[in-house]
Amino acid sequence: MRRVVITGIGAVTPFGMGKDAFWQGIANARSGVRRITRFDASELTAQIAGEVPDFDPLQFMDRKDARRMDRFTQFAVAAAALALADAGLDKKVPLGDRVGVLIGSGVGGIETLEEQCVTLITKGVNRVSPFFVPMMIADMAAGQVSIQFGAKGHNACTVTACCSGSHSIGDAFRVIQRGEADAMISGGAEAPIGRLALAGFCSAKTLSTRNDEPERACRPFDAGRDGFVMGEGSGIVILEELDHALARGAKIYGEIVGYGATGDAYHITTPAPEGDGAARAMQAALVDAGIGPEDVDYINAHGTSTEYNDYFETVAIKRVFGERAYKVPISSTKSMIGHLLGAAGGAELIACLLAMEHDLIPPTLNYEEPDPRCDLDYVPNVARAGRIDVAMSNSFGFGGHNAVLVVRRLDA
């Protein structure tokens, strides 16, 4: 098996553009959650979200291309451009057929879908855009990134709800391990903050309705949690075969050493009892990495701020880690940026890599009233200094999907 490292990071988050803005936000325990500004949300029970501020797609593409992309695809292209630049890969030179793209999305171009449905109903069938379908379909983030940067290798999209980003990175890891590519552009992208998506989640009663204090709404593992907060953005990383990266003198953030993926086979939205699927995914990732629970220094939890997820993830960690569960620092960066759905896994792996680089464990914001059933070390409210040699990133999604990634310092 070929070894796979990460050499570039691109983040588009509610803290703004780039890895530095993202890191400064989570390291300083700030909240990127605000009242929704992109449309009038007054009719909805949930009126808050983690919006990407002041996003200008024209910084990353020409106007013609931007008009033919949904917002989620624009995010993916922007994050990919940032990641490639961070990796020292010249965007003016086509990447060729040994570089691939694997970018996931949970709902794809749902903003375009909503807009075109309104057009159909109000103006008729002949006014629906000819670009409607290629703007809406979830694979277009991967497709457009491939086109924009000339990546002609393995090209795919993973759609597994909130696991989409993590599954994409894990599968891209396997592509390089098998020798089918030397590098992959991978992660997730999502832009779900619109009336249709919000209305659906509000109807399902899964969102926080703490509208009067948006910065305090997302509170993973806290006894007062009342639902997740929707976010948007993209987290993209550049994966490279180790020798390929070393040969060009690339900076290496860490090595992907483990990937575990399972299915609950239980319920469309509720996690399996006792966190069974999540536990098996974590265990599989550890086995794949060839390490034990005692080797893990930090867990970036899925931690959605919903009753069942936070409890069953806690149970799953205890099942896998035993007594070590009470000693390993755990945090949910969703507490600060909201839930980026299909982009969450990419953003949260980036959080792990930056935490490893800065020797600083991000906190879980708004952890104020401990839930007796969630009794682990969630690094409450303030970042904590500490060396991280091995980090685990958890993602779980509707449909019973589970994906876990393990990264390690190259010199660890």
Whole-number pLDDT of residue 90? 72
Are the CB atoms for 9 and 350 separated by under 8 Å?
yes
Whole-number pLDDT of residue 93? 64
CB atoms within 10 A of CB 385: 8
Beta-strand relationship, 390-397 and 298-300:
parallel
Mean pLDDT of 343-359: 98
Beta-strand relationship, 233-241 and 360-361:
unpaired
Are the CB atoms for 74 and 36 separated by under 8 Å?
no
Are the CB atoms for 183 and 276 separated by under 8 Å?
no
Listed residue (231, 244, 221) closest to 348, CA to CA? 231
Whole-number pLDDT of residue 238? 98
Listed residue (129, 135, 128, 130) closest to 111, CA to CA? 135
Whole-number pLDDT of residue 354? 98
Annotated active-site residue 117? The verdict is no
Angle, helices 71-86 vs 140-149, to 10°: value is 40
Whole-number pLDDT of residue 411? 83
Whole-number pLDDT of residue 135? 97
Task: Find tokens 């917002």 and name the residue.
Answer: 71
207: Cβ contacts below 8 Å, ≥ 6 apart: 45, 46, 198, 201, 227, 228, 229, 230
Mean pLDDT of 247-270: 96
Q: Which of 162, 163, 202, 374 is catalytic?
A: 162
Listed residue (172, 384, 396, 171) closest to 297, CA to CA? 384
Mean pLDDT of 355-383: 98
Give tens-digit pLDDT for 30-49: 999 999 999 999 999 999 99
Q: Which of 154, 244, 339, 401 is catalytic?
A: 339
Model confidence band, residue 91 (pLDDT cutoffs 50, 70, 90): low
Average pLDDT taken over every residue of the chain:
97
Are the CB atoms for 108 and 264 separated by under 8 Å?
no
> What CA dihedral angle connects 210, 377, 338 and 41, to 10 degrees?
-10
Annotated active-site residue 162? The verdict is yes
Whole-number pLDDT of residue 240? 97
Annotated active-site residue 302? The verdict is yes
Separation of alpha carbons 295 and 309, rounded Å: 25
Model confidence band, residue 1 (pLDDT cutoffs 50, 70, 90): confident
Mean pLDDT of 162-174: 98
Whole-number pLDDT of residue 92? 63
> Is pLDDT of 101 > 80?
yes
Q: Which of 218, 302, 352, 401 is catalytic?
A: 302
Give tens-digit pLDDT for 184-231: 999 999 999 999 999 999 999 999 999 999 999 999 999 999 999 999
> Is pLDDT of 308 > 90?
yes
Which residue(s) pair with 48 in the sheet?
35
Own/partner pairs, 267-274, CB within 8 angstroms, 24+ separation:
267/400, 268/398, 268/399, 268/400, 269/204, 269/206, 269/398, 270/308, 271/308, 271/309, 271/312, 271/313, 271/396, 271/400, 272/312, 272/400, 273/312, 274/312, 274/315, 274/316, 274/319
Which architecture characterizes domain 1-395 according to CATH? Answer: 3-Layer(aba) Sandwich (3.40)
